[in-house]
Amino acid sequence: MRVKNFAVCYNNKIQNSVDAKNNLTQLLIEQNVSCEVLDIDNLKDGFDFAFVIGGDGTILKAARFFAKFDTPIFGINLGRLGFLSQTSREYLMQSVQKILQGQFHIEERIMLQSGDNLALNDFVIKGNSHGRTARLSLKINGNAVCDYLADGLIISTPTGSTAYGLSAGGPVLAPKLEAFVIVPICPHTLTARPLVIPDNELVTVSMGDCENGFVVSTDGQNFYECNADIEIKKSLHNAKLALLDDSDFYTLLRDKLRWGTSPAKMS
């Protein structure tokens, strides 16, 4: 793809992000590339490509915004894990050169939608009574599936399967799979297990005995209360992640999560 208009997105409240932004813009200037600098809390459209500086939370926020405009994003990690990022500050120069030389590809990631809310990772639904389990009724395509007595439910994309869903005991899905994962959080039963479903199905979560309604979170960032059934489906928008040509999901699993590495080798 031919890139004309670049954006550099960063968090002006974090000094490391400010420093990385300055380094990146200087690198682009040295390559005679113009760009516009945007704070992560004041994003706008009109770009062919966006560099996003920060941890996974910053990248998720940018992904939800730019997905509506089909703008690819490239993550530069400043956080602890950086599962969605492609490079770090130490390799910034090499990565920018690869981007400018076109040595990258765009991978589209499916997203979830509930009303006007989008999620690249997941929706998390919990009862509004703090410190208590909730009874959550799950339907798929209008058919009753399960009543959970649990701390909550995670409805996750393949991208989000390595996030909260993994911590709650869910499976890891390769990001190109067209599927969702439904993972109960601390279910009060021995029979409730994570469920993988096709991404063209409609998920409905009902309140059960949640007299005070639900608290719903989007990618662990946007929280809102709901007193009615929640419907979650595949979004019409896809997140577009710019990945370097030498990137590989399974290598990322091993490097970031120490997948398949024995405890002796980790020490």
Instruction: Kindly name the residue from 48, 56, 70, 245 that is annotated as catalytic.
Output: 56
Helix or strand (DSSP H, E) at 203 = strand 203-206
Q: Domain 6-102: which topology?
A: Rossmann fold (3.40.50)
Choices 3.40.50.300, 3.30.70.560, 2.60.200.30, 2.60.120.10: CATH for 113-235: 2.60.200.30
Tokens representing 133 are 């389990």
Q: Kindly report, residue by residue over 158-171, the tens digit of the pLDDT.
A: 999 999 999 999 99
Tokens representing 153 are 């439910």
Tokens representing 222 are 């946007």
Residue 56 known to be catalytic: yes
Q: Kindly report, residue by residue over 151-204, the tens digit of the pLDDT.
A: 999 999 999 999 999 999 999 999 999 999 999 999 988 888 999 999 999 999
- Tell me the one-letter amino acid at 259: W
For the chain, give every domain's residue range.
6-102, 113-235
